[in-house]
């Protein structure tokens, strides 16, 4: 059974997460955390990314679902970060099934000056959505699950995810800086 996703009242979501020692990345402990994060994210139709604090681990790790890379991804249309993924915001459409992206000790190294107001929600702040002012492009430096450092640039939805998940690792929730916050029940619950 997947770990429960913690909600906004939980104190761990307001703490600054600790960096993972690079030598520990390939340990059984970190592999377990990554597996539990992936298992917690997988069944969430309204989520496309998750940070370790959201399942109770105060570690600087987040995962982005491979679903966001496929136009046929179905569940990605209701994102933790963005409620709407239009064709022009999809990042990559080369394969049917993309693997989840893992970011350990991520640091945003560059944000574009150009920003926009975007619809945003969060698996830990259900069922609220609001508008956040995010950079259109972001570059992140992180380690993968094998302890290899990499740099990845992004625009659109992935850039928004980088900013949202990095906020989580710093104890910040999107509702701290969002406007027009509204309660919006998922379609299966709405009457």
Q: Are 33 and 72 in contact (CB under 8 A)?
A: no
Kindly list the strands in the beta sheet with 61-64, ordered across the sheet, starting from the edge strand earlier in the chain: 49-51, 61-64, 101-111, 137-143, 149-155
Instruction: Say how far apart CA 168 and CA 125 lie, in whole Å.
Output: 12
Q: Which residue has the tokens 């429960």?
A: 4
15 phi and psi, to 5 degrees?
-100, 155
Q: Which residues are catalytic?
A: 165
């Amino acid at each position: 059974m997947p770990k429960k996703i913690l909600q906004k009242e939980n104190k761990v979501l307001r703490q600054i997460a600790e960096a993972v020692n690079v030598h520990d990345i390939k340990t059984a402990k970190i592999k377990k955390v990554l597996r539990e994060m992936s298992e917690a994210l997988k069944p969430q139709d309204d989520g496309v990314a998750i940070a370790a604090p959201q399942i109770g681990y105060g570690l600087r790790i987040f995962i982005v679902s491979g679903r966001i890379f496929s136009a046929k991804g179905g569940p990605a249309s209701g994102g933790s970060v963005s409620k709407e993924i239009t064709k022009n915001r999809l990042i990559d459409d080369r394969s049917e099934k993309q693997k989840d992206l893992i970011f350990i000790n991520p640091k945003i190294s560059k944000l574009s000056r150009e920003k926009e107001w975007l619809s945003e929600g969060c698996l830990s702040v259900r069922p609220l959505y609001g508008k956040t002012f995010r950079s259109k492009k972001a570059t992140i430096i992180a380690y993968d699950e094998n302890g290899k450092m990499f740099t990845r640039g992004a625009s659109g939805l992935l850039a928004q995810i980088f900013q949202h998940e990095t906020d989580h690792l710093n104890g910040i929730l999107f509702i701290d800086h969002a406007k027009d916050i509204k309660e919006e029940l998922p379609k299966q619950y709405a009457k």
